[in-house]
Structure 1
Amino acid sequence: MASGVATVWLPVKDMKRALGFYGETLGLEVKRETDDWSELDANGLMVGLNARESSGADGGGGALLTFRPDGGLEDEVSRLKGEGVSFVGDISDHPWGRIASFKDSEGNDLQLYEPPSD
Structure 2
Amino acid sequence: MITGYKDIYYNVKDMKKAVTFYQEALQMFVETGDEYWTSMVVGNLCLGLHWNEGQDVPKTVRDNHGQENGGTLTLSSDNIEEDRARIEKYGGKILSENKQPWGHMLVFEDVDGNILKLMK
Fold conserved between structures, TM > 0.5 = yes
Instruction: Name the larger-Rg structure.
Output: 1
Runs of 4+ in 1 over 6 A off after TM superposition: none
The answer to whether the Cα contact below 8 Å between 2:108 and 2:117 also exists between their aligned partners in 1 is yes
What is residue 11 of structure 1 aligned with on the other side?
11
Q: Which runs of 5+ in 2 are unaligned?
A: 61-69
Asked if 1:21 is matched to 2:21, the reply is yes
Instruction: Could you tell me which runs of 5 or more consecutive residues in structure 1 were left unpaired when the two chains were aligned.
Output: none
Report the Cα offset of residue 39 of structure 1.
Answer: 0.4
Contact conserved, 1:99 with 1:111, CA < 8 A, in 2?
yes
Give me the whole-angstrom Cα distance separating, in 2, the residues matched to 1:73 and 1:86.
Answer: 14
Equivalent residue number for residue 37 of structure 1: 37
Counterpart for residue 60 of structure 1: 59
TM-score by length of 2: 0.74
Q: Number of residue pairs matched?
A: 111
User: How many Å separate the matches in 1 of 2:93 and 2:118?
Assistant: 13
Deviation of the 1:93 alpha carbon: 3.5
Q: Is the 8 A contact 2:106 2:117 kept in 1?
A: yes
After superposition, the C-alpha distances for 1:91-118 in whole angstroms (9 at most, x for unaligned) are 213564331111101110111111xxxx
What RMSD over aligned residues (CA atoms) do the two structures have, in Å?
2.7
Deviation at 1:4, TM superposition (A): 5.1
Q: Distance in 2 between matches of 1:74 and 1:96?
A: 17
Contact preservation (8 Å) 2:73, 2:115: yes
